[in-house]
Structure 1
Amino acid sequence: MNEMDYKQVNDDMRYLTLLSRSFPNIATASTEIINLEAILNLPKGTEHFLADLHGEYQAFQHVLRNASGTIKRKVKEIFNETLGTKEQKELCTLIYYPELKLELVKRGITDAGDLNDWYFININRLVKVCRNVSSKYTRSKVHKALPPDFSYIIQELLHENSSDPNKQAYVDVVVRTIISTQRADDFIIAMCYLIQQLTIDVLHILGDVYDRGPSPDKIMDILCDYHNLDIQWGNHDILWMGAAAGNDCCIANVIRIAMRYGNQSVLEDGYGINLLPLATFAMETYKKDPCTQFIPKDLDEKDPEKMKSSRLMAQMHKAISIIQFKLEAATIKRRPEFEMSDRLLLDKIDYKKHIITIDGKQYELTDGNFPTVDPQDPYKLTAEEEMVVTKLHNSFVQSDKLKRHMNCMFRNGCIFAVVNGNLLYHASIPLNEDGSLKDVIIQGYPYHGHALLKKVGSLIRDAYFGAENQEDYLFAKDYVWYLWCGKNSPAFDKDKMATFERYFIADKATHKETKGWYYKLRDQEKICDMILDEFHVQGQYRHIINGHVPVKTIKGESPVKANGKLMVIDGGFSKAYQPETGIAGYTLVYHSRGFQLVQHEPFTSIQKAVEEGQDIKSTYEMVELTNHRMMVKDTDKGNELSSQIRDLQKLLVAYRSGLIKERAWRPITNKR
Structure 2
Amino acid sequence: MNTKLLDILAQKYDSEEEVATEIINLEAILNLPKGTEHFVSDLHGEYQSFQHVLRNGSGNVKEKIKDLFIDEFSEKEITEFATLVYYPEEKLQLIKNSFNSKQELNEWYSEIIEQMIKLVSFASFKYSRSKLRKALPKQFVYIVEELLYKTEEFTNKKQYYSKIVQQLISLGQADKLIIGLSYTTQRLVVDHLHVVGDIYDRGPEPDKIMDALINYHSVDIQWGNHDVLWLGAFAGSKVCLANIIRICARYDNLDIIEDVYGINLRPLLNLAEKYYQSNPAFMPKSQSHDSVSDNEYDQITKIHQAIAIIQFKLESPIIKRRPYFNMSGRLLLEKVDHDKNEITIKGKTYKLENTCFATVDPIHPDQLLDEEQKVIDKLLFSVQHSEKLARHMNFLMKKGNLYLKYNGNLLIHGCIPIDENGKMEKMEIENKTYAGRDLFDIFEHYLRQSFAKPEETDDLATDMVWYLWTGEYSSLFGKREMTTFERYFIKDKQAHEERKNPYYHLREKEETCRNILTEFDLNPDQGHIINGHTPIQEINGENPIKANGKMIVIDGSFSKAYQSSTGIAGYTLLYNSYGMQLVAHQHFHSKEDVLQHGTDVLSVKRLVDKELVRKKVLETNVGEELLQEVAMLKNLMEYRYMK
TM-score range, shorter chain: over 0.9
Q: Secondary structure at the match of 2:43?
A: coil
- 2:279 corresponds to: 291
CA RMSD of aligned residues (A): 2.0
- 1:482 corresponds to: 467
The question of whether the paired residues in 1 share the 8 Å contact of 2:418 and 2:502 is answered with yes
Q: Which amino acid aligns with 2:394?
A: N
The question of whether the paired residues in 2 share the 8 Å contact of 1:421 and 1:539 is answered with no
The question of whether the paired residues in 2 share the 8 Å contact of 1:261 and 1:296 is answered with yes
CA distance in 2, matches of 1:297, 1:622: 37
The question of whether the paired residues in 1 share the 8 Å contact of 2:456 and 2:462 is answered with no
The question of whether the paired residues in 2 share the 8 Å contact of 1:49 and 1:589 is answered with yes
Cα offset for 1:264? 0.9
Deviations 1:473-529 (A, max 9, x none): 811111111110111111112111110111110111111111112222222222212
Cα offset for 1:15? 5.2
Kindly indicate whether residue 101 of structure 2 is the aligned counterpart of residue 111 of structure 1.
Answer: yes
CA distance in 1, matches of 2:504, 2:634: 48
Cα offset for 1:645? 3.1
CA distance in 1, matches of 2:97, 2:222: 43
1:376 to 338, 363, 366: 363
2:183 to 193, 201, 208: 193
Please list, as runs of the form range in 1=range in 2, the aligned pairs for 1:252-331 lying within 5 A after superposition: 252-286=242-276, 289-301=277-289, 303-305=290-292, 309-331=296-318
- 2:587 corresponds to: 602
532-541 or 596-605: bigger deviation: 532-541
The question of whether the paired residues in 1 share the 8 Å contact of 2:242 and 2:310 is answered with yes
1:83 to 73, 79, 83: 73
CA distance in 2, matches of 1:170, 1:630: 40
- 1:136 corresponds to: 126
Provide closer, same or farther for how the CA distance between residues 536 and 275 of structure 1 changes in structure 2, counting only shifts above 3 A: same
Q: Which amino acid aligns with 1:531?
A: I
Q: Secondary structure at the match of 1:548?
A: coil
Provide closer, same or farther for how the CA distance between residues 489 and 27 of structure 1 changes in structure 2, counting only shifts above 3 A: same
CA distance in 2, matches of 1:70, 1:264: 36
Kindly indicate whether residue 482 of structure 2 is the aligned counterpart of residue 497 of structure 1.
Answer: yes
The question of whether the paired residues in 1 share the 8 Å contact of 2:478 and 2:500 is answered with yes
The question of whether the paired residues in 1 share the 8 Å contact of 2:546 and 2:552 is answered with yes
Deviations 1:107-137 (A, max 9, x none): 3335322222222222222111111111111
Q: Which amino acid aligns with 1:590?
A: Y
1:585 to 570, 579, 584: 570
- 1:662 corresponds to: none
CA distance in 2, matches of 1:453, 1:531: 13
Deviations 1:546-586 (A, max 9, x none): 10111111111111111111111001111111122111010
CA distance in 2, matches of 1:281, 1:16: 63
Provide closer, same or farther for how the CA distance between residues 172 and 307 of structure 1 changes in structure 2, counting only shifts above 3 A: farther
The question of whether the paired residues in 2 share the 8 Å contact of 1:245 and 1:463 is answered with yes
CA distance in 2, matches of 1:251, 1:650: 51
Cα offset for 1:651? 4.5
1:223 to 207, 213, 224: 213
CA distance in 1, matches of 2:385, 2:425: 38
1:433 to 420, 430, 442: 420
Q: Which amino acid aligns with 1:331?
A: I
When normalised by structure 2's length, the TM-score is 0.96
Gaps of 5+ in 2: none
The question of whether the paired residues in 2 share the 8 Å contact of 1:93 and 1:101 is answered with yes
The question of whether the paired residues in 1 share the 8 Å contact of 2:515 and 2:524 is answered with no
CA distance in 1, matches of 2:232, 2:589: 34
- 2:144 corresponds to: 154
484-493 or 448-457: bigger deviation: 448-457
The question of whether the paired residues in 1 share the 8 Å contact of 2:529 and 2:551 is answered with yes
41-50 or 446-455: bigger deviation: 446-455
- 1:550 corresponds to: 535
1:612 to 588, 597, 613: 597
The question of whether the paired residues in 1 share the 8 Å contact of 2:418 and 2:501 is answered with yes
Q: Which amino acid aligns with 2:438?
A: A
CA distance in 2, matches of 1:560, 1:150: 43
Q: Which amino acid aligns with 2:581?
A: Q
1:213 to 203, 207, 216: 203
Q: Secondary structure at the match of 2:560?
A: coil
The question of whether the paired residues in 2 share the 8 Å contact of 1:248 and 1:389 is answered with yes
1:452 to 439, 458, 462: 439
- 1:560 corresponds to: 545
CA distance in 1, matches of 2:473, 2:34: 37
The aligned length equals: 643
The question of whether the paired residues in 2 share the 8 Å contact of 1:435 and 1:527 is answered with yes
Deviations 1:420-469 (A, max 9, x none): 101111111111222122222222211122222121111111111129x9
The question of whether the paired residues in 2 share the 8 Å contact of 1:260 and 1:317 is answered with yes
- 1:626 corresponds to: 611
Deviations 1:394-422 (A, max 9, x none): 11111111100000011111111111101
CA distance in 2, matches of 1:243, 1:18: 41
CA distance in 1, matches of 2:97, 2:26: 49
Cα offset for 1:655? 6.0
Provide closer, same or farther for how the CA distance between residues 18 and 298 of structure 1 changes in structure 2, counting only shifts above 3 A: closer
CA distance in 1, matches of 2:344, 2:156: 87
Q: Secondary structure at the match of 2:269?
A: helix
Q: Secondary structure at the match of 2:349?
A: strand
CA distance in 2, matches of 1:61, 1:270: 19
The question of whether the paired residues in 1 share the 8 Å contact of 2:236 and 2:456 is answered with no
Gaps of 5+ in 1: 1-10, 659-672
- 1:420 corresponds to: 407
Kindly indicate whether residue 32 of structure 2 is the aligned counterpart of residue 47 of structure 1.
Answer: no
Kindly indicate whether residue 58 of structure 2 is the aligned counterpart of residue 61 of structure 1.
Answer: no
